[in-house]
Amino acid sequence: MGKARGPRGFGGPVVQAKNKKQTVKRIWKYLEKQKAGLVIAILFVVLSTLLGLSGPYLIGRIIDHYIIPKDITGTVRMLGVLAAVYIGSSLLTWMQTAIMINVSLRTIRTLRKDLYNKFHTLSLRFFDNRVHGDLMSRVTNDIDQLNNALSQSVIQIFNSLLMIAGVTIAMFSMNAILAVVTLLIVPLMILTTKKIIKYSSSNFIKRQRDLGELNGFIEESISGTEVITLFGKEDKVFSQFSTVNERLRHSSMAADTVSGFLGPINNFINNIGLAIVIGVGALMAVKGTVTVGLIAAFVTYSRQFFRPINQLSSLLNTFQSAIAGAERVFEILDETPDMKDKKGAIPVDAFKGDVEFTDVHFGYSKDQPILKGINFTASAGQTIALVGPTGSGKTTIINLLSRFYEVDQGQINMDGRNIQDYKISDLRKKIGIVLQDTFLFSGTILENIRYGRLDATDSEVIEAAKVASAHGFIKHLPDQYQTRITTGGLNLSQGQKQLLAIARAILADSDVLILDEATSSIDTRTEIEIQKGVNRLTEGRTSFVIAHRLKTIETADKILVIKDGEIIEMGTHHELMMSRGFYKDLYDSQFNI
């Protein structure tokens, strides 16, 4: 058969980093849609910050005005006020966190929905060149990284900045000298943080890329378990997995180790700053220029000043990972669909079924042409059979007719108009397809057949199964039509899956029917039965049949013999047999004539 899909091996494309500032702006565009929640969360941040700032001030007053004078009653009363302040601050912090989690989840829901919808606008050519596991990683791991950053970091960054500003004002209002001493180490902290983040940024991007590559490898390995086992390649695949896994370990180690230096380094700098503040404060207290309570308040303020700076360092590390993931998500959202409706595309309710290929050229890659000047016509109601060696381009013709890909040159007409003039969704709704590689969704047999037409009744589904000769094996299953199918239909034989796919196409009742090796996995006896149903199905509608068993297409109105991307013979079975060409050789070889 023709090449239906492009090559795709283990491993994925290298992800290049995009503009980080632009990525942050795009994240904000999603986040600002939750303005109400953000405003409430920010209000709670302001209130909790104000309460937090009042704590050290109260501590200083309690020491100077109540503890030193030994006013036990006043001390107890003020300690109650202090406790209420810190409890209120904690409650507000919890509430702002809960609100921000809700804001983050709503934002991520929108982003994930946009990404999933984007997948459905992209052509098969896009998926041909990408590892499915890597795409799955973008929907799950990369978006989860962003979710963690938004729910835990955004409001904390605002809180930290507000706290730094508030503490700075409070310290300068209490004692300018001690405030300046406190701020002396800030440039050192900023320089250290900037250097570490700059170095760790590329490591986070590489880690996300390696994680996507590992997911892609695992997805393909699991999907190909039977083939791996059949050829005894378990050791080789495990070796490849170990290589990819080790690469991820190295990039993760590099990212986490470098970023992990921030906490200890900043804590060391903080402790030095705190020691300097205490030392200068003690000298000033000895000279009588400051009180013990003010020093205590200042020490507390210093801790409050350094803590948000440390938090900012840690949060910026979290954001490095989140931005790396967001870049990969936006990379997909920025993909330009090469399959889309042209301006003024025509909606259509039904087709007569007249099909014409005119000088059609196509290749899955530019340097490997598959079809080379295909020309033929199919009148409404005719059955057109496509035969030829594997890789000749038969399935490719079907893919182009279904507009899974755009032609490189030439034109395909349906009812006298270029298929590119029609809405893609309308065109595909009117084409029923049974592919050689059958895919079933997890769910019941009834639901899988009904996928062909969602408004079909149970009786219509059962009737379609009878026409497709699927009813016989379904009624012998324990739960019959309510039997649940595992993902991909692994609990059914290949022949049973194809029967269900044929029933699905029958139920769809499309204007144009495509059968791509639809009976390749069905035994001869069942094939005879199903051929009766197929004959009923093709009656009165244009049908394209790809079959290696030439006996099944003897009654076709026209047979196209395709070799190396070209139609080398065309006619009825009788005409082609009489011409004694390539078709006759194929036919005779199947019956050992």
- Encode 347-359 in three state secondary structure: CCCCCCCCEEEEE
How much is the pLDDT for 525? 66
The answer to whether residue 234 sits within a structural domain is: yes
The answer to whether residue 220 sits within a structural domain is: yes
Report the C-alpha gap between 472 and 466 in whole angstroms.
Answer: 8
Strand order in the sheet with 383-387: 431-434, 512-516, 542-546, 383-387, 558-563, 566-571
Contacts of 273 by beta carbon, 8 Å cutoff, 6+ apart: 182, 184, 185, 302, 306
Report the C-alpha gap between 35 and 190 in whole angstroms.
Answer: 31
Given the DSSP bridges, would you call strands 383-387 and 542-546 parallel, antiparallel or unpaired? parallel
The answer to whether residue 525 sits within a structural domain is: no
Give this prediction's pTM. 0.62
Overall domain count for the chain: 1
350 pLDDT above the threshold of 60: yes
- DSSP for 548-572? S-GGGGTT-SEEEEEETTEEEEEE-
How much is the pLDDT for 510? 82
Average pLDDT over residues 537-557: 78
The answer to whether residue 82 sits within a structural domain is: yes
* 35-74 burial: b if 16+ Cβ within 10 Å, else e: eebbeebbebbbbbbebbbbbbbbbbbbbbebbeeeeeee
Q: Where are the alpha helices (DSSP H) in 154-233?
A: 155-174, 176-183, 186-223, 225-230
The pLDDT tens digits for 48-65 are: 888 888 888 888 888 878
The answer to whether 27 and 326 are in contact (CB under 8 A) is yes
The answer to whether 518 and 526 are in contact (CB under 8 A) is no
Lookup result for tokens 């980093």? 17
Report the C-alpha gap between 447 and 326 in whole angstroms.
Answer: 36
The answer to whether 491 and 445 are in contact (CB under 8 A) is no
The answer to whether residue 550 sits within a structural domain is: no
How much is the pLDDT for 416? 85
CATH number of the domain at 38, please. 1.20.1560.10
SS3 522: coil
Report the C-alpha gap between 146 and 322 in whole angstroms.
Answer: 4
The pLDDT tens digits for 168-215 are: 888 888 888 888 887 777 787 777 777 776 666 667 777 777 877 787
The answer to whether 420 and 406 are in contact (CB under 8 A) is yes
Radius of gyration of the chain (CA): 35
Report the C-alpha gap between 31 and 25 in whole angstroms.
Answer: 10
User: Measuring CA to CA, which residue among 507, 490, 495 is closest to residue 447?
Assistant: 507
The answer to whether 162 and 46 are in contact (CB under 8 A) is yes
User: Measuring CA to CA, which residue among 376, 328, 351, 353 is closest to residue 570?
Assistant: 376
Structure tokens at 478: 């324990």
The answer to whether residue 63 sits within a structural domain is: yes
Long-range interactions of 155-159: CB distance < 8 A, separation 24+: 155/41, 155/42, 155/45, 155/96, 155/97, 155/100, 156/311, 156/315, 157/312, 157/315, 158/42, 158/45, 159/45, 159/48, 159/49, 159/96, 159/308
242 pLDDT above the threshold of 50: yes
Q: Which DSSP letter does residue 130 get? A: S
344 pLDDT above the threshold of 70: yes
How much is the pLDDT for 488? 63
The answer to whether residue 157 sits within a structural domain is: yes
The answer to whether residue 440 sits within a structural domain is: no
Report which residue type is found at 581. Answer: G
Given the DSSP bridges, would you call strands 383-387 and 558-563 parallel, antiparallel or unpaired? parallel
The pLDDT tens digits for 83-138 are: 898 898 889 888 888 888 888 888 888 888 888 888 777 777 777 666 666 777 77
Q: Read off the pLDDT band of 518 (50, 70, 90).
A: low
Element (H, E) at 238: helix 234-260
How much is the pLDDT for 9? 34
Domain that holds residue 196: 20-333
Average pLDDT over residues 473-501: 79
Q: Read off the pLDDT band of 523 (50, 70, 90).
A: low
The pLDDT tens digits for 293-313 are: 888 887 888 777 777 777 776
Average pLDDT over residues 441-468: 84
Long-range interactions of 179-182: CB distance < 8 A, separation 24+: 181/276, 181/277, 181/280, 182/273, 182/277, 182/298, 182/301, 182/302, 182/305
Planar angle of CA 575, 576, 580, nearest 5 degrees:
115
The pLDDT tens digits for 352-395 are: 888 888 888 888 877 788 888 889 888 888 888 888 887 788 88
Higher pLDDT, 297 or 1: 297
How much is the pLDDT for 29? 82
User: Measuring CA to CA, which residue among 16, 332, 336 is closest to residue 143?
Assistant: 332
The pLDDT tens digits for 20-52 are: 777 777 878 887 788 788 888 888 888 888 888
